[in-house]
Structure 1
Amino acid sequence: MNKQQGFTLIELMIVVAIIAILAAIALPAYNNYRIRSAEGACQAEAKAYMNSAVSALMSSMNVADPPGRACNAPAKPTAITGSTDFTPKAPGVSHTICSNGTATCTMTPSV
């Protein structure tokens, strides 16, 4: 006689439960990764822009508009004093604040 072999319902339910547990662990970690990478990209863009903007301000040249790829584009700096605030695009939440005089940028990570 030929016996049909396959998985029982209990075995399939155990596999589905294991996959659900792994997904419950992986999805929040992935979301945190997305947030951190959006904030890091904005910080890198802000630092690169502020380096060129400060050198243009010091040389009495025209300051280019912010690129606005990873950050929502702020108003371009017009003076050496003050600071410029860069806001990352979604899903990032932490702002990057750069000094107009030194191009030093800081950010407090959200995750």
Structure 2
Amino acid sequence: MRRQAGFALIELMIVLVIIGTLASVAIPTYKNYIQDAANNACILEANIYARKVYTDIQLRKRAIDIPAPIAKACNVINNSEKVVTMTSFVSNARSPGNATITCDLNAGTPCSITALSP
């Protein structure tokens, strides 16, 4: 009698169940990972802009010499308007991020996530 080569249907079904189970755990974890990465990139970008503006204001640079924000990781920084006084401003992370980030120049430029949208 000759032995058949290959896999039985039950073996293939077990493999598919295992792959499906792993995917159901991995996909949400990956989604959270890329969302956190987008939020962190925006907070870094907002921090860099806040530190630049804070330094320029401390050096008493003219308002015309202070740069407007250029958002790449953030969807928008301070509605694309330049910051020329010691104040706070808001940034929103670009998709897939979901964070609203507030930077307070009066506190010395720390930026933090103040809200997460669903």
Match of 2:3 in 1: 3
TM superposition shift of 1:108: 4.5
Encode CA deviations 1:24-79: one digit per residue, 9 max, x unaligned: 00000000001100000101111111101111122232211212110123222121
CA distance, structure 2, for counterparts of residue 52 and residue 39 of structure 1: 20
Task: Answer 1 or 2: which has greater strand percent.
Answer: 2
Query: Do 1:77 and 1:100's aligned partners in 2 also have CA atoms closer than 8 Å?
Result: no
Q: State the SS of the aligned residue for 2:92.
A: strand
Q: Runs of 4+ in structure 1 displaced over 4 angstroms?
A: 108-111
Corresponding position of 1:46: 46
Closer, same or farther: CA 37–11 of 1 in aligned 2, 3 Å: same
In 2: Cα distance, 1:26 partner to 1:109 partner: 26
- Unaligned runs of 5+ residues in structure 2 are none
Task: Verify the 8 A CA contact 2:53 2:84 in the aligned structure 1.
Answer: no
TM-score if structure 1 supplies the norm length? 0.89
Give the RMSD, CA atoms, in angstroms.
Answer: 1.7
Aligned residue pair count: 110
Query: Letter of the aligned partner of 1:73 in structure 2?
Result: V
Question: Which is helix-richer, 1 or 2?
Answer: 2
Distance 1:9 1:109 in 2: 50
Q: Which runs of 5+ in 1 are unaligned?
A: none
